[in-house]
Structure 1
């Protein structure tokens, strides 16, 4: 039997998820501002610090229009945090990549995000894995094969 969507437990879980998301975004925006970045600029920089990424894929990951990403990357590039490179497999495609300065900024930004790290530190490894698996399941990604 499916859980009624308005039962008190579901309502409380939805509200708690909303509170977590709101607190995360508030802290993320504050941390980004300390680096003179907007929240979305910080997210793009964080993504590019992980791996160089085609502009279209950045837009897909952030669920926005590619033209918006162009402006964001323009501003990050003007600050020396990001550079554009031609895709070695398709020269019509531009790949954005974090520069060395951008990598350092992304690292410092990540290190300054205490909201998620501190509460998670109170959980055991098993609890964190369980939470991760539940979140992935909620998002339709399934649980990973490796614990």
Structure 2
């Protein structure tokens, strides 16, 4: 049983973890884990195939982690990994038709599993606005000293 959240970050974590736990059976039907689902999510079917570097940046992971994950998705038949036409050192990741279906099913399962569905449409829109504003980073002034990280919060009793 999770502890009740005491900070917004703890609440976000609990929402994400509850969503993943509830959606896991539906994702498993497609042979997906959360890491492979994230990788499919990072490949937008409405955009040209991204490079491995772009997907790694979207996932905030290392190239080696993405290589492992993309190997699994290639074996499942959900993506192709091909050489970039103008740069042989770069690989492109593209969804296959089964990959598009698995991506849609996994994202749908995550949406349906989210505790955020308990909120009204207006509350979810407001939450999206607040979280989107929190993600916007202010550019640092060219000669400004680097900001020190905030102190770690004290553990809750």
TM-score range, shorter chain: 0.7 to 0.9
Give the gaps of 5 or more residues in structure 2: 139-157
Contact 2:42 2:58 (8 Å CA) reproduced: no
Rounded to whole Å, the distance in 2 between the matches of 1:29 and 1:92 is 35
Rounded to whole Å, the distance in 1 between the matches of 2:135 and 2:97 is 33
Larger relative contact order (Cα-Cα within 8 Å, sequence gap ≥ 6): 2
Contact 1:49 1:102 (8 Å CA) reproduced: no
Pairwise CA RMSD: 2.6
Note the 1:45-56 alignment, pairs <5 A: 45-50=40-45, 51=47, 52-56=49-53
SS of equivalent residue, structure 2 residue 94? strand
Query: Which structure shows the higher helix fraction?
Result: 1
Rounded to whole Å, the distance in 2 between the matches of 1:31 and 1:53 is 26
| TM-score normalised by structure 1 residue count | 0.73
Q: How many residues align?
A: 131
| TM-score normalised by structure 2 residue count | 0.69
Q: 1:91: how far off?
A: 3.5
Q: 1:89: how far off?
A: 4.5
SS of equivalent residue, structure 2 residue 42? helix
**Match for residue 129 of structure 1 among 125, 133, 137:** 125
Rounded to whole Å, the distance in 1 between the matches of 2:14 and 2:116 is 16
Q: Is 1:62 matched up with 2:35?
A: no
Distance of aligned partners of 1:68 and 1:128 in 2 relative to their CA distance in 1, 3 Å threshold:
same
2:102 — aligned with what? 105
Q: 1:49: how far off?
A: 4.6
